[in-house]
Amino acid sequence: MSKDTQDTKGKKYTIEQFINTESIISNSISFDEKYVLFSSDKSGIYNAYIVSLEDNSQQQVTFSRTNAVHAISFFPNDHRFLFLSDQSGNEILHIYVQNEIGESVDLTPEENARAEFYHWSQDQKSFYYGSNKRNPSFMDVYELNIDTYESTCIFTNDEGYEFGAVSPNKRYIALGKVNNANDSDIYLYDRSQCQVSHLTVHEGDSNFIPQSFSGDSQYLYYLSNENHEFQVLKKVHMDTKQSIEVVKGNGDITSSFFSSKDNYLVYTINYDAKTEVKIINLSASQQLELPLLPEGQMVNVRLSQSEEVMTFLFNTSNEPSNLYSYHLLSEKLKKLSDTLNPEIDSEDLTQAEIITYPSFDGLEIPAIYYKPVIQAGEKVPSLVYVHGGPGGQSRLQYNPLFQYLANHGYAIIAVNNRGSSGYGKSFFRAADLKHGEVDLEDCIQAKNFLQEQDYIDDDKIGIMGGSYGGFMVLAALAFRPEEFKAGVDIFGVSNWERTLKSIPSWWENIREALYKKMGNPYTQPEYVRSISPLFHADKINKPLIVLQGANDPRVLKVESDEIVAALEKNNVPVEYVVFPDEGHDFKKKENKINGYKAILNFLEKHLPKKGI
């Protein structure tokens, strides 16, 4: 890691300027290939928009002021579209259709029932979705007729299966089953015989994850890390049940799908904290050349029904996602959006760098480093950031909070501690039943890495994280109270015993996976309490700020209430920011502004730069 400093000061931007940058998620190409549907928070909260592929003109088509709208897909033969929405972040999602005159209908109106869109049928007359309206713990599979909007249950799920895919001929439903955090299986439901069969009988822990069927319904494509450190793409024949390897990459293959005419196979690889996209022209048996773009990552790739137009989102560490189209025949690349606030020059923002550092036992820990602009001889404060999970990963992508803090002089190292995904199954398993211990040591070694940089103020290093990362913040302050000078906890778990007992009903099928990682609160209560910071809050003596959504179904508000109360009782400086209209994430721009501003104000109070 270079220790060189820069001689100039970059321009400082306000949090309002950062958040007034547009955030785009999802995209879908219309049947006539004239428009692209996407979601944007331009209005202050995510709504659906349509952009013309001809002239780039944009039109807002939903107008929610309270609940985020996640656009899913245009209909196969007209301009109706589907979107998901919940109530203020409670994750009780419903599927809506909006017709061509702007009227919306809730297709899954059952109160307190969660719905998940799966995929369109091959005949384009229906789509498949999941709902837990029958049993709150499991998602049954339904088929909905797009002319009548009537739905039919085609698979009753009483065993905790996860949906994989329906074959084009509608005979088979591929199902996943999580056994524990490191082991999963694939099952096949034959609708003609009303029978479920186990496709992936194996010994030891390996993952098997269904993807999609071939166009002729003869093969099921799936991911597996059996006999491999990383996931590869394989396929199994429906009659012979024989499997063969299709492709492997330099990291985990994380997704795959076929184009509508089955001429292209698209798959993604998680390599070195970023997504790589590969497209194979199956008729020519060769890889498609993708458009040249700057160093960054392409995500949400979509191919049109004619297979001539591709759309995708592309982002870098210092520029947010933009929507692009690419014509496969003419090789014409077109940028359809310009999301960065025009008041911000991307050259003033930090370009993150992927680094590694040795942990306490010599294991190399990957991380993403955000270095602020530094004057020669200047010493700056810094933060160790821990991602969500357990088992998540920090990615090399645009992060407005990181850029805001770096722009105001804070160095940030986003740690992918052992137990993170994306670095092979051995690395992923390395923190099982050791969370708050070995992964915490990885974070402390990240602090040591920062201290080795001659421009870092050794005495002003804090720790920040969200969800599982918020737990790691509390664990660091409780179990290693002299390591960090302050903590930023964003909806973090303080009491694993309660959290593991109160997981959302629709997470029932991954309950055992969480127990494998964190411990079983019913059979291992002493261990679970031993890693829960709430029961050790008397050891916390450093300042803390806590941010929490009141409607969070994953980390209940009481988790934050109680840790704050414990610190107040012990006269430890603590600030508490609650958002009454958010869940396990901050969707509204106003809340992001208030939350991120509160974080910077807290840091400037407790980890000030010299001269502040």
Question: Has residue 590 got a pLDDT over 50?
Answer: yes
Q: Confidence class of residue 500 from pLDDT cuts 50, 70 and 90?
A: very high
**Does residue 56 contact residue 336 with C-beta atoms inside 8 Å?**
yes
Average pLDDT, the chain: 95
User: What average pLDDT score do residues 362-385 get?
Assistant: 95
What is the predicted pLDDT for the residue at 611? 52
| pLDDT at 6 exceeding the cut of 70 | no
Rounded mean pLDDT, 403-417: 97
Q: Average pLDDT of 151-166?
A: 97
pLDDT at 4: 42
b/e 416-446 (16+ beta carbons within 10 angstroms → b): bbbbbbbbbbebbbbbbeebbebbbbbbbbb
Q: Specify whether the CB–CB gap between 24 and 322 falls below 8 A.
A: yes
> What's the rounded mean pLDDT across residues 568-578?
98
Q: Tell me what the mean pLDDT of segment 545-554 comes to.
A: 96
Dump pLDDT digits (tens) for 188-205: 999 999 999 999 999 999
Say if residue 3's pLDDT is above 60: no
Please name each of the domains of the chain with its CATH number. Answer: 23-154 (2.120.10.30), 353-606 (3.40.50.1820)
Task: Tell me: pLDDT of 7 over 50.
Answer: no
> Each residue of 36-88: pLDDT tens digit?
999 999 999 999 999 999 999 999 999 999 999 999 999 999 999 999 999 99
pLDDT bracket for residue 466 (50, 70, 90): very high
> By mean pLDDT, which of 94-98, 339-343, 434-438 is the weakest?
434-438
Span 223-274, pLDDT tens digits: 999 999 999 999 999 999 999 999 999 999 999 999 999 999 999 999 999 9
Burial 538-571 (b: 16+ CB within 10 A, else e): eebebbbbbbbbbbbbbbbeebbebbbebbeeee
For the segment 111-138, the average pLDDT, to the nearest whole number, is: 97
Number of Cβ within 10 Å of residue 77's Cβ equals 13
Q: What is the pLDDT of residue 9?
A: 56
Q: Is the pLDDT of residue 354 over 70?
A: yes
Q: Which of 6-15, 96-105, 576-585 has the lowest mean pLDDT?
A: 6-15
Residue 2: band (very low, low, confident or very high) from pLDDT cuts 50, 70, 90 = very low
Identify the band that residue 509 occupies on the pLDDT scale cut at 50, 70 and 90.
Answer: confident
Task: Please say whether the beta carbons of 203 and 227 come within 8 A.
Answer: no
Token pair for 105: 């209908």
Encoding tokens for residue 549? 């959504």
Q: What is the dihedral of CA 284, 278, 311, 80, to 10 degrees?
A: 80
